[in-house]
């Protein structure tokens, strides 16, 4: 059975080591690759990470790896205990509920701004992501659904004209990422969530900010209700 670092190393190996022609700062590359690995390899809260093994897998020295890990910790994906451990964040249920509350307050405005003027390249990414979500939901492919869902939400944040708003929404999602994982929810929630995402996309493409805003409010409320139902069940 693969442990957390085995999964990450396998993911990074599939992506290939960092190219010498990549002109970005090494800490930015490390941040991006480690973040993707955390989100797309079905890691669990509390899973340990190794700075040394990450450095070896990426072919990058430990200093930029350490800087990337510190950034991921600030954003809520990791927990670092100095001198002891680096683990996938394990937020309390109250922290998850706090994150949902922040999303309720901010994400409706995020999609309203998107409807007002999302660049064409971002629109194409959104359309591709929702198409992949629909295909994955129909096929019962939870891993692919989760990846497409992440791309969908992060595109809206990354292309938000208000950079602070986009960053805050990303941080709120990061703090509940594992609790909201597709692997943990019933098929019905994935099907319903896909329909809700499609409705928001359609409103954005129609430049209907008011409708997009209202639909996102309803979507986040549904996320919260579904989480409460899961808590009652378990």
Choosing from 88, 114, 139, the residue where a domain stops is 88
Q: Which residues contact 47 (CB under 8 A, 6 or more apart)?
A: 3, 4, 87, 88
Nearest to 60 by CA among 103, 17, 99, 102: 17
Choosing from 41, 64, 88, the residue where a domain stops is 88
Give the relative orientation of helices 120-139 and 142-158 as an angle to the nearest 10 degrees. Answer: 160
Domain region containing 166: 93-233
Residue 96 Cα distances to 28, 42, 192, angstroms: 27, 18, 21
Question: What pTM did the predictor assign?
Answer: 0.84
One domain, residues 223 and 108: yes
- The mean pLDDT of the chain is 88
One domain, residues 80 and 115: no
Choosing from 59, 88, 117, the residue where a domain stops is 88
Q: What is the pLDDT of residues 148-197, one digit of tens each?
A: 999 999 999 999 999 999 999 999 998 887 665 545 667 888 999 999 99
Q: How many domains does the chain have?
A: 2
**What percent of the chain is modeled with pLDDT above 70?**
90
């Amino acid at each position: 059975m693969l442990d957390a670092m085995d999964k990450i190393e396998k993911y990074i190996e599939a992506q290939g080591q960092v190219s010498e022609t990549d002109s970005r700062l090494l800490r930015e590359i490390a941040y991006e690759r480690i973040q993707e690995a955390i989100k797309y390899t079905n890691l669990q809260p509390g899973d340990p990470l190794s700075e040394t093994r990450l450095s070896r897998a990426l072919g990058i020295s430990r200093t930029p790896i350490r800087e990337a890990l510190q950034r991921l910790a600030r954003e809520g994906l990791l927990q670092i205990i100095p001198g002891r451990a680096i683990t996938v964040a394990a937020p309390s249920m109250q922290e998850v509920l706090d994150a949902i509350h922040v999303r309720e307050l901010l994400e409706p405005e995020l999609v309203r701004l998107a409807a007002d003027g999302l660049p064409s390249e971002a629109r194409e990414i959104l359309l591709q992501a929702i198409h992949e979500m629909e295909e994955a939901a129909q096929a019962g492919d939870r891993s692919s659904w989760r990846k497409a869902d992440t791309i969908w939400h992060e595109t809206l944040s990354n292309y938000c004209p208000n950079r602070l708003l986009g960053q805050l929404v990303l941080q709120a999602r990061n703090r509940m990422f594992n609790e909201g994982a597709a692997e943990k929810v019933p098929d019905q929630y994935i099907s319903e969530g896909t329909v809700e995402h499609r409705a928001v996309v359609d409103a954005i493409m129609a430049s209907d900010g008011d409708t997009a805003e209202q639909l996102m409010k309803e979507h986040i409320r549904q996320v919260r209700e579904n989480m409460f139902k899961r808590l009652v069940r378990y």
